[in-house]
Amino acid sequence: MDRKRIGFVSTRFAGTDGVSLEARKWADAFARLGHDSFWFGGELDTESDRSLLVPEAFFNAEANLALNSRIFGTQVRTRDVTNTIAASAEFLKDRLYDFLERFDIDVLVPQNALAIPMHIPLGIALTEIIAETGIPTIAHHHDMWWERPRFLVNAVQDLLQSAFPPDLPSVRHVVINSMIQRELAARRGLTSTMIYNVIDFDKPREDLDEFNRDFRENFGFSSDDILILQPTRVVSRKGIEQALYLVKQLDLPNVKLLISHSAGDEGTGYQDWLLDTAAQQGIEIHLLANRLHDTRRFDDEGRKLYTLWDVYPHADLITYPSLYEGFGNAFLEAVYFRKPLLVNRYSVYVVDIEPKGFQTVAIDGFLTRDAVSRVRALLLDKEAREAMTTHNFEIARRFFSFTMLEQRLTGLLQSFFGASPEVARGSDLLP
């Protein structure tokens, strides 16, 4: 297949949110397949010479926030709102045409921009461009709007049905779990390809180096401390209270609970409750957000800012008691770093991850005495930990690797452009 120019589109490609992380992995996979990637978004930390930054496309742009406040939580919109949506979509469509022409894009890859209506005009602009040009499009849906309660009451049902996602002949839909796949078929009659989130399990990793070796020392942790890492934002659907209960009930000395990310844009009420509960129960909890960054660097005071991947090697156990996840990047990261896991059996885990044969300490919404006993035994038995984590690594390497991603992306590109002569000749040998 000839070298293709891939155009990624979203409201944001920056930081460590799941969409940005997976989009970069896709770009890496496309590069390994010999293709070039380019970026369109409202907030970007991508290569400037391969990017078109359009601040109006950012979901947190002031005008977009004002618009959303008038279309969600109500079922009727005014004519002025309709006109505002149309004008914003037309503006963004002009910029998307600029993007296509400037970088001579062959394939569009909207990342969640046609699934979650955080920016209605961008979704409409994308849909219209695809309809007007017939450009090959791989629409990557991480989660759907009907899964989020805040989008269920809205004044834009007509627009959601037409653009989130659109039913167009040049669009190939990609979902990250089988539950979305079934819902998309049932609700919209749309077929889709399932591509799990991935990690490059074949890439050698260096757990400790000169930069991250002193993480424990810089945070005041000793080599004897047991560090339990909760690698998520502080939001209620992450079920972090179960991690608190675990630390309390383990009854082991020097157990510390580390939480990697902040509450983000969902308020601090849950975080405040967790901190109050931890203080009342005498649980040592550490919020790392102000010392973590998406890249290694030093702050204005000369302190190291670590990445989350600098923290994993120092953790003794990962807690992942989420009530809901679109997939579970933190689960794969823990497996990649060969760490034992306490995991709540959220629905996608039950359907798409657990059947692969992973070994974890699993709970069903609440912490049991048996789960606490199993965690305690793992923390005290190095050989048991190594056996479990090695087993999990090998399973993940088979099902959630870049090899799988590259195979699926190749198939999608071939659905547009056909197979190369070499591939076509090889297929003649197959039964």
At 97-144, the pLDDT tens digits run 999 999 999 999 999 999 999 999 999 999 999 999 999 999 999 999
Residue 209 domain flag:
no
Are residues 312 and 260 part of one domain?
yes
Model pTM score:
0.87
pLDDT tens digits, one per residue of 170-190: 999 999 999 999 999 999 999
The residue that leads in pLDDT, 121 or 17, is 121
Residue 206 domain flag:
no
Question: CATH no. for residue 304?
Answer: 3.40.50.2000
Residue 350 domain flag:
yes
The answer to whether the beta carbons of residues 342 and 241 sit under 8 Å apart is no
| 428 pLDDT higher than 80 | no
What integer pLDDT is reported at residue 266 of this predicted model?
73
Residue 357 domain flag:
yes
Rg (the chain; Cα; Å): 23
The answer to whether the beta carbons of residues 221 and 256 sit under 8 Å apart is yes
| 427 pLDDT higher than 90 | no
Are residues 219 and 79 part of one domain?
no
Residue 203 domain flag:
no
Are residues 176 and 229 part of one domain?
no
Are residues 15 and 148 part of one domain?
yes
pLDDT band at 421 (very low <50, low <70, confident <90, very high): low
| 422 pLDDT higher than 90 | no
Q: Looking at residues 159-164, what average pLDDT do you find?
A: 98
pLDDT band at 1 (very low <50, low <70, confident <90, very high): confident
Residue 390 domain flag:
yes
Are residues 307 and 239 part of one domain?
yes
Q: Which of 340, 317, 332 is closest to 386 using CA atoms?
A: 340
Are residues 153 and 23 part of one domain?
yes
Are residues 240 and 194 part of one domain?
no
Residue 122 domain flag:
yes
As a whole number of angstroms, the distance between CA 122 and CA 110 comes to: 10
Are residues 264 and 182 part of one domain?
no
What is the domain range of residue 17? 5-198+402-425
Residue 421 domain flag:
yes
Domain count, the chain: 2
